[in-house]
Copies of this chain bind each other. A is one copy, B any other.
Amino acid sequence: METVAADDAIAQFARQDALAQLLGIELLEAGPGFARAAMTVGPHHLNSHGILHGGAIFSLADFCFAVACNSHGQAAFALHVDINFLATAPVGARLLAEATEEHLGNRTGLYHMRVMTEEGTLIAACHGMAYRRREHLA
């Protein structure tokens, strides 16, 4: 929380994410190359099997990825994300996700995302590669 408080620009950037709002994703913490967020599983996050949708898990991880890779003040865009689905979580479970920076180059950055339950069960693990534009965020 303090990390967000320490960087209003990142928090404001995160609040502008319309899909994250629709899905109930909230930013918990962010700093240079790092972000943490939460989402409580609801009935609108389910798939045809009645279990947690891959698209909901991905969106939570992708939100952390976007905040982390844009945290350096340079606009960054996802080139590629791979996601490994490892477990599921029931309606009512609170999911926590985080993105950490594994590599930061001039034009690309690599991020590692993990989505887990509050009890520590790993739901998904991802790698995301971002392309960093020369332009700076407003």
Asked if A32 is at the interface of the complex by the 8 Å CB criterion, the answer is no
Asked if A4 is at the interface of the complex by the 8 Å CB criterion, the answer is no
B48→A22 contact, CB < 8 A: no
> Which chain B residues border A59 with CB–CB below 8 Å?
53-56, 58-59
CA distance A53 to B63 in the complex (A): 9
B48→A17 contact, CB < 8 A: yes
What per-residue 1/0 map shows which CB atoms of A68-85 lie under 8 Å from chain B?
A: 001000010111111111
> Which chain B residues border A66 with CB–CB below 8 Å?
47-48, 54
Asked if A108 is at the interface of the complex by the 8 Å CB criterion, the answer is yes
CA distance A82 to B15 in the complex (A): 27
Given contacts A18-B47, A47-B18, A53-B19, contact A79 B85 (CB under 8 A): yes
Specify which of B14, B16, B54, B87 is in contact with A81 (CB 8 Å cutoff).
Answer: B54
Asked if A110 is at the interface of the complex by the 8 Å CB criterion, the answer is yes
B17→A47 contact, CB < 8 A: yes
Q: List 27 A-B contacts (CB under 8 A).
A: A13-B48, A16-B50, A18-B43, A18-B44, A18-B47, A18-B53, A20-B47, A54-B58, A54-B59, A55-B62, A58-B62, A79-B108, A79-B129, A80-B80, A80-B82, A80-B84, A80-B85, A81-B83, A82-B82, A82-B127, A83-B83, A84-B127, A86-B105, A87-B105, A103-B122, A108-B131, A125-B127
